Amino acid sequence: MEIEVKSKDENEIVFIVRDAEVPFINAIRRIAMMEVPKIAIEDVNIVQNDSAMFNEVLAHRLGLTPLISNLDGIEGMEMANECDCEEYCPKCSVSFTLSKTGPGIIYSKDLVSTDSTIKPVYDTIPLLKLKEDQNIELEVVAKIGLGKDHAKWIPTTVCAYKQYPKITFNEDAEVNYELADVCPRNILKSDKRSKKLKVQNIEDCSMCKACVRADENDYINIGFEEKNFIFRIETDGSLPPEEVLSKACDVLSDKADKFITFSKN
């Protein structure tokens, strides 16, 4: 198996996996979404809320506010269901407080954390609006969880793959130069000098087959390479995408080890 990174930034990574099987690639996708630990607000204690926003709506907005959950931030913390405390403690949680008086818009940056390494990823997420002399006072507790338990613990906003596109031409058929204009992603380029269509940026091909439907001469064929894949992971900023991928691989490896051990008994 070979892996080639095509692009990477702080929130997204795109890479190609060659010589792999669909079940393996899909297992990585599912684990990256559902079984990579992330910290998110779980408990909300609202002391005062004079705004027009219902407490339940505000709690929901707080729960979906992404918090920095990289390995440096949550290292040493325990999963909430594995901690021996009765409700929550510093070993399994981080507390935030919010106390503001209107008028004004309250943003995620107004949440004050007890741990400087764990804070909202983005400072400008609007939480609610206060009018003159309205107050908001609350305390929230963030805990580590998994996406399979609740969507707020899913670290990825996009986690998907597609099989590597493959475009071939029937040399015995008449060249249809108009297909280059049909392609919505400009994958095909008309080259009348060489009397053929050229393929460019094939990795951008969505395999929509718009060109096939417009082809009356059976000149073009759209398919895919069965064991090659283009994989894309985009996160909400709580974890770097490479950490999500690395942790997903670790989880899959642990699962495989447990299965092997079980099969030997």
Binding residues for [3Fe-4S] cluster: 205, 208, 211
CA distance 95 to 139: 7
Residue 21's identity, in one-letter code, is E
The HSE-up count of residue 151 (CA atoms within 13 Å, CB side) is 7
The answer to whether the CB of 188 falls within 8 A of the CB of 180 is yes
